[in-house]
Amino acid sequence: MPQEFAPGLVLQDFTPPLDLSQYKLIAFDMDSTLINIECVDEIADAAGRKAEVAAITEAAMRGEITDYKDSLRQRVALLKGVTVAHMEQVYNERLQLNPGAAELVAACQAAGLKVLLVSGGFTFFTDRIRARLGIDFARSNVLEVVDGVLTGRMVDQPWGDICDGEEKRRTLLEVSTLMGIPASQTIAMGDGANDLPMMGVAGLSVAYHAKPRVRAQAKVAINQGGLDRLLELQA
């Protein structure tokens, strides 16, 4: 049975204390986990399609849409015509790190963990967040741009076409293998249904202000406060 360790900090299948030194890698989702927005929804605002895109995003995150790749293609198609200048505006004016994000990343790095950012979002944003937080590895999707304008398509990458839930899982395992560690020495944090595959193979899964299905399956759920509340589980 889940138990509330402290207000808004629920333990489903985890007994403190947390010893970060037992882990070697922490993987974060980006949108609504490390940062405060769903970037695709905010980009769509420029095209006057935010409500339409946000409804698809919400259904995908709840797990009501089983084909994440198709749902993302639908949303990206609706971004056609949006300029790179508008995406810059989203980054500069709307995007913020979630509370405790920088603190948790720094604490993990101080404990010797490598950090992975793996997102169903876009490199335009993940590249900036990676640099801002000093993240070691990142994987996300590439929006096709022609003459400073989105085409409504994504660009295939050497590892595949779209970073969906299965690709998040595969990436976590791939990085673990590269580091020479078992998946049991990894932590995965996310909020949506497409995070469940990587959370399912990690040694410690953490839901952050997550959808009900994700909260129910995570070992730890942070339902109030910042990401760094995970550190409250340390001795």
Mean pLDDT value across the chain: 97
Question: Of these residues, 19, 29, 67, 164, which one is catalytic?
Answer: 29
Q: What is the pLDDT of residue 23?
A: 98
Place of tokens 């402290």: 6
Please name the amino acid found at residue 193. A
Region 133-144: mean pLDDT is 98
Q: What is the pLDDT of residue 235?
A: 82
Region 122-142: mean pLDDT is 98
Give the pLDDT band of residue 21 (cuts 50, 70, 90).
Answer: very high
Q: Cβ(212)–Cβ(221) under 8 Å? A: no
Region 192-204: mean pLDDT is 97
Q: What are phi and psi of 160, to 5 degrees?
A: 150, -165
Q: Which homologous superfamily does the CATH classification assign to the domain defined by 3-35+97-233? A: HAD superfamily/HAD-like (3.40.50.1000)
Question: Among this protein's residues, is 67 annotated catalytic?
Answer: no
Q: What is the pLDDT of residue 162?
A: 97
Region 128-152: mean pLDDT is 98
65 backbone φψ class: left, alpha, beta (φ>0; ψ -120 to 50): beta
Give the Cβ contact number of residue 183 at 10 Å.
Answer: 17
CA dist 152 → 73, 98, 105 (Å): 8, 28, 33
Structure tokens at 199: 């959370």
Question: Among this protein's residues, is 29 annotated catalytic?
Answer: yes
Helix segments in 26-164, DSSP class H: 39-45, 50-62, 68-77, 84-93, 101-110, 123-133
CA dist 105 → 81, 111, 129 (Å): 35, 10, 12
Q: What is the pLDDT of residue 102?
A: 98
Domain boundaries, the chain: 3-35+97-233
pLDDT tens-digit series, residues 141-197: 999 999 999 999 999 999 999 999 999 999 999 999 999 999 999 999 999 999 999
Question: Of these residues, 19, 31, 147, 228, which one is catalytic?
Answer: 31
Closest Cα to residue 71, out of 159, 189, 192?
A: 192
Environment class of residue 185 by beta-carbon count within 10 Å: exposed (0-12), middle (13-18) or buried (19+)? middle
